[in-house]
Structure formats: C-alpha cells, structure tokens
Structure 1
Amino acid sequence: MNRTDQEQQFFEYMSQNYPIPPKLWQELKTVLEIKKIKKNRYLTAEQFDLHFILDGMIIKRIENESEPHEEVVDFISTNQLIYHIEKMDHSQFEADVDSTVILIRNSNLSKVLEKHPIFLNHLEHLFGEVLLRRSYRGKLIHLTARERILKFKEDYPEAYKYCSVNDKSSFLGMTAAYYSNINI
C-alpha cells in the first residue's frame, strides 16, 4: 500500500486504538482531501465535515456579542480533530501558523460508515478526544491566574510557545495586560 507522508501520519494515528483493515484504508484514501492552510487563513467546511490536523496550529474563535472581539476557546494542534458545527456555535477556525490538514466531507463519512461499520470505533475515539479537549477550560475555573498559565503551558506547549498573548489570555479568561504581568 503506497501512502504519502501525510496519509501515513493519519493512518498511524487512526491505527493506535483500532486496526484499520486494508479495505477500509483503501476506502478512506479515496475521501481524504489534504490541504495546506496559510497563517491567518480560515478553515472552510460544510456543517459536520471533519478536519484532522496533520501539523500546525488552528485557533477556534467564537463571536462574543457583548465584546467587539472574538473569544479564543480552543487551540487545535497536530493529531487533533475539528468536527464542524460552526453554524450552531458561531465559531470559526483560523490557522495560527501554516498548517496541513485532512478534510473528510460529511457525505463521505456516511459512505465509509455504510461500507465499513467498524470505522465507527475510530470515530468514537476521535470524538471522545475532542470532547475531552473542549472541556479543558472548565477545569481552570478554580485556579489562580498564575496556575492557569502554568497548566496551559504544560498542556498546550505549542500554543504557549507560538501563539499571541492576546489569544492565550483570551483563552485563559484574562486581559492581555494582566497575562503579561504574571511572571512564569
């Protein structure tokens, strides 16, 4: 089975928890769309499409009706997944650095599942990972600002190192000036 480096990375990640039978892999290869996203560009997809981040950093932002800016609610990095529900939660996904992603359209997900029901095991694992990551901010509520930054640095090392102070402070629920005054 010939695989590009990007396909191989996706295959290895997907195979960590459940084996991928050859026929399923052949079917998946026909629906994978590998895309390069430049820094500051937005990911586009239809509702319920799936993006898998091969490399880079994508920032999820939500419109804040009471503020003139968008709130950062997540940092999605290598080997993580985006399941597109932006129309429901008024969010958008912006590349913070040049990134490479795999897009699988919702219609293709349905076709693969119909032919290969075992693929549901893989999707359940991916969605479980998404839910764990998305509940992260709730775990920070009772921490001091310094503790939040330290926890963020530990759990999101790429975002801590590369993302802007404005984005990190928004995610952690503090102003950029307050974030900058805390010595870590």
Structure 2
Amino acid sequence: MAEAVKQQQSKRLGNGAIMALCFVFAGGMVGMAYAAVPLYRIFCQVTGYNGTTQRTEQYSETILERTMPVSFDANTSTGLNWEFKPAKPIAPKIGETVQVNFTATNRSSTAATGTAVFNVTPMEAGAYFNKVQCFCFTETTLQPGETLEMPVVFFIDPEITKAEETKNIKTITLSYTFYPTQPSKPVAAVQEKGKAAKGQL
C-alpha cells in the first residue's frame, strides 16, 4: 500500500515538472517572438537579406532614361485595428529621387501604437532600393479616428542595371506591415518615476 502511494506521488511530481517545463518553454517562445522583429531587422539591415532596402542621406548623382515601375503594398498585423493604405504605383527614372505617401487611420476607440517593417521584391533589388526618408522601424501612435500621411523618399541605384542578378528586373514592389507595439516612455518620465520610487523607500 505504501509503495503504491509513493508511486502515485512520484507520478504527480513528474507531471508537475513537465507542466512547469511547458510553462517555461511557452514563456521563452513569447519572449523570442517579441525579440524576433528587432533582431531580424538588425540582421537584414546589416546583410541586405530578404529584400531589405538601404538607408542613405545622399541623392543619386546619375539619372537614367530607363524607368522602373514600382508598386506598393500595405498590411497590418492582427491586434492593430488600423486602415493602412499604400501609395499609388509609379514609374520613376532609375536614379531619380521621388516621394510617395502611405496613409494610416486608427479605426479603434483608443490610441494605438504601431511599428512598420518592410521588404522589397524581388529580393535581389533590395540592395539597390535606397530610402532617404522612411517611417519604418519608428513608433507611430494614432489617436482614435486619427489619419496620418507617412512619406517615403527613395531612389533606385543605377547600378541595378549592371549587376547580373538584377539587370533584367522589370518591376519592384515595396511592402510594409505594421505591428502593434507598446509606446516607449520618455526618458524624463522614466527618471521622474525612478526618483519617486526612491522617495518612497
């Protein structure tokens, strides 16, 4: 009888350990999910992987007569009740600096913050798609019903016509996806909160 009781207790302990491990694993997966976007962003920016565009503060000095049609795509992730509209397709000259505007409207009854990630297809074109101004990877907060126009200024590097893997590309698509994020607290507010906490000690 005592042996049977011990076996039942051991079985319960084993089940409890398994459940604890499952909770730890689930928590770890959630943490990795939140870290995935910024880590993936850094990786893509450094390597140009997966159609990641290039950031530059200089404009192209060469403008070709050849044009490159560019279309735009706008998406929102689950949990962000926004209407996100892409810019209209254009066909700029290769090397010409142009501006297009995306728009986002908060359809919810509360303020919401989102961060946009992007990619270019074909992926090979990402290294030649130079953005001078962009709303990507910055927090955007919209009040209920607020609509915001978000510009993107870019040019296509003329070198795209010389590289073997890109010289036959006929059109490019720039795609954005907004994900819900928690707004960062201003540094001053964090410092004041820290001082208040110390005062209570």
Q: TM-score scaled by structure 1?
A: 0.24
- Specify which structure has the higher proportion of strand: 2
Query: Normalised by the size of structure 2, how large is the TM-score?
Result: 0.23
> Which entry has the higher C-alpha Rg, 1 or 2?
2
